[in-house]
Amino acid sequence: MLDLARIGGLLGECKPGHTLPQDLYNSPEVYRFDLQAVFAGTWLLAGFSCEVASARNYLALTLAGSPVVLTRGMDGVLRGFHNACRHRGAQVCPDGAGRRARLTCPYHQWVYDLEGKLVHARNMQPGFDPAGHGLRPIHVREVAGAIFVCLADEAPAFERFRAELEPLLAPHNLGNAKVAYENTLLERGNWKLVMENARECYHCATGHPELCLTFPIDDLGDTMAQGGNAHYDAFAARVRANGLGIGPYFGPWWQIERFPLKAGHLSLTIDGKLAVNRLMVDADTADIGSLRWAVEPHSFCHSTADQTVYFSAMPIAPNETVVTCKWLVHKDAVEGVDYDVERMTHLWNVTNMQDRDLVENNQRGVNSFGYVPGPYNGADESYVKRFIDFYLDTACRYVSARAGFEP
């Protein structure tokens, strides 16, 4: 029951290079639109192959309020489904990971196989067609140990993204990873404010004293790292010598690039030392900087030699967003021996909480009767503009396909 004329009108008011009009940050109707038009229409970075590694494993999770389940069949193939029973719509698998030969709905025990086929529906009437009532599939792709899903009937093109990500990410060996830790944080702000925050470091110098110890905030601009200096050139030579690509690659909904940390630092930790002794990358040095790979509209990852950190923002209300973080390490790394969870997670935990405060303060100001869209910083907020451009493109395409006018 979306009023696309009204929403299209709002989209039409957007001013290039500026933050969005107020209603786009706090109206309940826009919130429902965003879920449908943006989250349900694009590729999302749902998780990692290691979370559903073997035949019969499943992983159930809720994306933008919508439950999905990923299964690994006996054929080793990963498949995805809307996690809603075709009988009366109950959630078939509880959120979380597990192992099952069949998926049985907890309500009336309709049974689906791992390919989504309905194999048993107790006592249904003659004329009922099981073949028409399998779990509805979603699009799934695995790339070098990362899982991407799209909930739309027709998914956007994926192959250029795969071609750009795979060579850079593969050496990080996520296929042999495990999730060493995972947590969530509630932010009382619109999801777009969370993502604008996550897409710039203009606030880092004062906002993130800990992150700035290792993160090269002075070098950020149109890409994550500026070449043409000795530090960068040494980094580039070193990683190339280890067969690691650099990028950068920018697509309509992704950014992929390897960049150097501040000199002498090996990982995104408080002290720049490794978080994990057991490396994930097979290289003759751990000094390979970080591979940042980000997927609009909700996520980014940093892959250093020792770990991959995953960040994903999911809207749960017009002014509430849940951020999920995961820390992936080599599956043979031993907690307490090769890594310490507290030490490994400290930097991103403090950084995320600092960002939460900034986002919530941003939301308060955006609610002002006096709020007007303001200009992005051309250099320091170029990734925010990418995010906003993606949001507006996606939203306008949705409206024009359905409402017959161009916002």
Q: Which amino acid is at 289?
A: G
Give the x-and-dash track for 73-102 against ligand FES (CB under 6 A).
------------x-xx-x------------
Closest distance of CB 170 from Fe ion, Å: 29
Nearer to ligand FES, 200 or 219 (CB): 200
Residues of span 59-88 touching a second copy by CB under 8 A: 62, 64-68, 81-88
188 binds ligand FES (CB under 6 A): no
Nearer to Fe ion, 330 or 386 (CB): 386
Place of tokens 């980094």: 235
d(Cα 268, Cα 275) in Å, to the nearest integer?
8
Distance, first Cα to last Cα, the chain: 19
**Of 58, 110, 148, 259, the one binding ligand FES by CB under 6 A:** 110
d(Cα 304, Cα 286) in Å, to the nearest integer?
8
d(Cα 108, Cα 88) in Å, to the nearest integer?
9
355 binds Fe ion (CB under 5 A): yes
- Write the secondary structure of 298-348 as one string of H (helix), E (strand) and C (coil): CEEEEECCCCEEEEEEEEEECCEEEEEEEEEEECCCCECCCECHHHHHHHH
Residue 379 makes CB contacts below 8 A (sequence gap 6+) with 221, 222
Nearer to ligand FES, 291 or 359 (CB): 359
Residue 138 makes CB contacts below 8 A (sequence gap 6+) with 68, 80, 81, 82, 149, 150, 151
Yes or no: say if 187 and 22 are a contact pair by the CB < 8 Å rule.
no
Give the x-and-dash track for 24-43 against a second copy (CB under 8 A).
---x-x-----xx---x---
Nearer to a second copy, 5 or 74 (CB): 5
Nearer to ligand FES, 95 or 335 (CB): 95
Closest distance of CB 379 from a second copy, Å: 6
Site residues for a second copy per CB under 8 A: 1, 6, 10, 19, 23, 27, 29, 35-36, 40, 62, 64-68, 81-92, 94, 106-109, 122-125, 128, 133, 136, 138, 151, 196, 202-203, 206-207, 358, 361-362, 364-380
